[in-house]
């Protein structure tokens, strides 16, 4: 089935992207090894005749027909990408090579979902696409940071050497319904902790800043970059330009959930960036894109989705009672 291939399509971003593409009338193939994605995420899509799921690791050779390819296949949470750093690096490098070769054989357009982590512990803020970053190449985060930087190099060289239509999007912190609560990323962790009445764990003193973009806005930006008819190689920053301290994020989650949980501090992980905020001038200029969902509204939607998921789990029959 020709159409659109979404590598990593059963993950958080991939699931939302697959839904968006189907709603737009595309034939969609979701490829995922389910190491961090889940069949549950795409369960509602499996009966759609324009949707196909392939259980495959992109580190293995890929044989498929596609007109457009999104490469979203890589663990994005430090908890997961650090659990098997060699595999993480292989996914970004070998996986990207396999998808680029697939695009070359098919004459397909291909987009890399890169990351703000390519900027490392940035020394300037907000970070423009022209900033080369401040990354520790031998640190515990390097498997992801340097893997994505190498993937960007591959995409750029395939464009220069083979004339392949490649696009690079650098995604900053994204949150929303469907985000795993156990992957260690701050928004999902805070919401899950607050709803459970557990302490909210803040690393460091909580004065480090991040910016958070709702998943609907991120997916809209990815689609615009992919759909552009003119030269749109990028890289393009995709994220919210509104910074917030982690302590203030915790306070907002507590307010919106009505939780009485306390905030507790833990030691800051190695190479954790102190400031992370995108300069999105290029996205505004080229595509007229900027986030439309403010953080409080987006968090409220996410909190509702977590509550609904918890209520659904409570209604499920207890397997221990079956015979």
The span from the CA of 32 to the CA of 14, in Å, is 9
Annotated catalytic residue: which of 70, 81, 119, 144?
144
**Cα–Cα distance measured from residue 257 to residue 137, given in angstroms and rounded to the nearest whole number:** 39
Contact 155, 217 (CB under 8 A): no
Q: Which secondary-structure segment (H or E) carries 31?
A: strand 28-32
Structural contact between residues 211 and 173, judged by C-beta atoms closer than 8 angstroms: yes
**CA-based nearest residue to 238, from 89, 112, 141, 95:** 112
Give catalytic status of residue 144 as yes or no. yes
Which parts of 131-280 are beta strand (E)? Answer: 166-171, 174-175, 200-203, 209-211, 213-214, 236-238, 243-245, 263-266
Instruction: Say if residues 228 and 289 touch (Cβ distance below 8 Å).
Output: no
Residues assigned a catalytic role: 144
């Amino acid at each position: 089935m020709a159409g659109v291939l979404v590598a990593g399509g059963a993950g958080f971003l991939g699931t939302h992207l697959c839904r968006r593409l189907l709603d737009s009338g595309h034939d969609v193939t979701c490829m995922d090894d389910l190491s961090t994605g889940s069949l549950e995420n795409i369960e509602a899509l499996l009966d759609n005749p324009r949707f196909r799921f392939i259980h495959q690791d992109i580190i293995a050779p890929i044989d498929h027909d596609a007109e457009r390819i999104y490469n979203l296949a890589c663990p994005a949470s430090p908890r997961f990408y650090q659990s098997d750093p060699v595999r993480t690096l292989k996914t970004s490098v070998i996986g990207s090579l396999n998808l680029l070769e697939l695009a070359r054989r098919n004459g397909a357009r291909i987009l890399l979902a890169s990351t703000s982590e390519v900027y490392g512990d940035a020394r300037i803020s907000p970070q423009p696409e022209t900033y080369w970053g401040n990354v520790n190449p031998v640190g515990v985060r390097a498997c992801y940071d340097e893997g994505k930087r190498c993937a960007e190099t591959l995409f750029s060289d395939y464009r220069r050497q083979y004339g392949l239509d490649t696009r690079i999007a650098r995604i900053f912190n994204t949150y929303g319904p469907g985000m795993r609560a156990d992957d260690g990323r701050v928004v999902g962790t805070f919401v899950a902790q607050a709803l459970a009445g557990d302490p909210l764990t803040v690393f460091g003193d909580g004065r480090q800043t991040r910016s958070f973009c709702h998943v609907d806005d991120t997916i809209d930006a990815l689609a615009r970059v992919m759909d552009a008819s003119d030269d749109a190689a990028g890289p393009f920053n995709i994220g919210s330009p509104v910074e917030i301290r982690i302590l203030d994020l915790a306070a907002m989650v507590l307010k919106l959930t009505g939780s009485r949980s306390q905030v507790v501090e833990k030691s800051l992980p190695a190479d954790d960036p102190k400031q992370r905020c995108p300069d999105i001038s290029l996205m505004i200029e080229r595509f007229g894109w900027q986030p439309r969902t403010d953080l409080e509204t987006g968090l409220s939607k996410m909190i509702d989705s977590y509550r609904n998921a918890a209520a659904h789990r409570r209604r499920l029959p207890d397997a221990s009672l079956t015979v």
